[in-house]
Amino acid sequence: RALSLIVSDGGTTQRPWYRESLVDGSSGGGSPSLPSLDDPRLAMYPLEKRRQIIAALKNQKRDPDVMIEEPLAITTRVAGSFTRIGHVDLFSRRAEKAALEGRFEGVEYEQLEEILWHAAYREFYDVAYEPFREGEDLEGCVVAMLEGSAEGIAKMVAGWVRVGFAQGNFNGDNCLIAGRTMDYGPFGFMDEYNPLFAKWTGSGEHFGFLNQPTAGLVNYIVLVESALQVFKRGGANDDEIAKNDDKAEELQKRLIERAKTIFEKEVNAVWNVKMGFAPDSDEGPLLWDSLEPLLRDTRADWTLFWRQLSYVAEDFTLDDTSYDKMFDRLVNNNQYSLSSPFHDPLSPEQKKTVIQWIQSWREALRKAAKHEENDNNGITPAERMLKSNPKYTLREWMLVDAYTQAANGNEDIIHELNQLIQNPYADDEKDKSSDSSMEKKYYRRALEDDLTKGGTAFMS
């Protein structure tokens, strides 16, 4: 369903402005009209079934033929730079076209060079601009900028995985060169774990939750290919042209291989710190391989599972082997409450599998502790986990409630959520048992209806 209307002067309907201003983003969308009973797409169904389908769609979508007036809000983006991979790609395509036509001295290559210097100036001044500008060392500038870009984008997408965020439309046009979360697209924070989670129905698997590091790497490869086009500027003869092309190809291969290593390292570090290991440990990725299908099978809430696991690490010493009690702590001592990370009570077999995984995790922590004894800077697994696994994220059902209330003139929830996200890792609320406490209201799973309802579970 349509969530916002962006107009040329930056205006947007108030509802999405409330939603996106809390996470410094913006989104847009549209809503197709509902089918009629004689729609050929429904011809295969009997009349009563067609009525049921249309009724179900009406519950999910706003009728686009009904005029709805809403207050206007203005969203202003503020960033050090808005230079996207798509910008460089655009000028590179123009330069490539000119090269195919044998035009190497025209405005196309000049503009490509200018956008590269501009990007280095805005995003990597100290490492890619200042050391190279005076000497007009374009190669040094571009290589330094691309190396910094790989590191920034890799850290960004790994951070998204860590907190359960899906950008939703992560192509080169929506990816800043420096690796900064600014263009949110049809974003969302994940409730129930799904490796292909995305809020937008058009995201496709390639922009799904766990595919975001791959999408980020693909975007980076586009940036490398686009930037290095500047060195394919012909030559005095065929040999010189071939030499320039070979040099660009060699640079491209080296930069991409380096980036693959960096992306893998950053994602592996996420699994490690979420489980209490040092970022460069081998244990986290191995344990994640066995945990991932378990989270799918048990319908685990992403945020609650990791935070509750952090409490297990905090409450039990490393040499404790009370795995059944650890399971009870994981489910917050009540499998049937909304504060349990599992949407359904676990079957005996599922419970057994979870406890076995807990045992494997604890044994790996004990093993790692022996190796890291003199090299952990005094950081315990629990401390590492509590700093890596947020207690709160801006789940969609929170945002829907906030902008629905705000549309009726009550902005209290907007201000409350703004306060909540100032420190999403905080665990120092004084009266957690009060019905008005942040923990009582927001440290919980989504209701089942919120996992299927259009506008909350997904958007078109």
pLDDT for the residue numbered 5: 36
How far is the C-alpha of 26 from the C-alpha of 38, rounded, in Å? 37
**Is 449 exposed, middle or buried (CB count within 10 Å of its CB: 0-12, 13-18, 19+)?**
exposed
| pTM of the predicted structure, to 2 decimals | 0.85
312: nearest Cα among 270, 357, 343: 357
Q: What is the pLDDT of residue 28?
A: 35
- Spatial distance between the Cα atoms of 162 and 319, rounded to a whole number of angstroms: 27
Rounded Cα gap, residues 310 and 391, in angstroms: 10
Identify whether the C-beta of residue 393 lies closer than 8 Å to the C-beta of residue 305.
no
At 215 the three-state DSSP class reads: helix
- Residues in the chain, total: 460
Within 8 A by CB and 6+ apart from 64, the residues are 2, 31, 32, 33
What's the pLDDT score for residue 66? Answer: 59
- Per-residue confidence (pLDDT) for residue 68, from 0 to 100: 61
Task: Return the SS3 of 319.
Answer: coil
Are 354 and 294 in contact by the 8 Å Cβ rule? The answer is yes
Task: Quote the CA–CA distance of 156 and 162 in Å, as a whole number.
Answer: 10
User: So what's the pLDDT on residue 88?
Assistant: 97
Q: Could you identify the residue written with the tokens 């080296």? A: 254
pLDDT at position 244: 84
End-to-end CA distance of the chain: 5
Query: What is the secondary structure of 46-63 as a DSSP string?
Result: -HHHHHHHHHHHHHHS--
Q: What is the mean pLDDT of each run of 10 residues along the chain (460 residues)?
A: 36 56 45 71 82 74 57 74 94 94 90 97 97 96 98 98 95 92 79 95 91 97 97 78 88 97 98 97 98 98 98 97 97 86 96 98 95 72 97 95 90 94 88 81 95 87
Q: Name, in order, each residue with C-beta under 8 angstroms of 289's C-beta and a sequence gap of 6 or more.
A: none
Nearest-Å Rg of the Cα atoms of the chain is: 25
Give the per-residue pLDDT at 26.
31
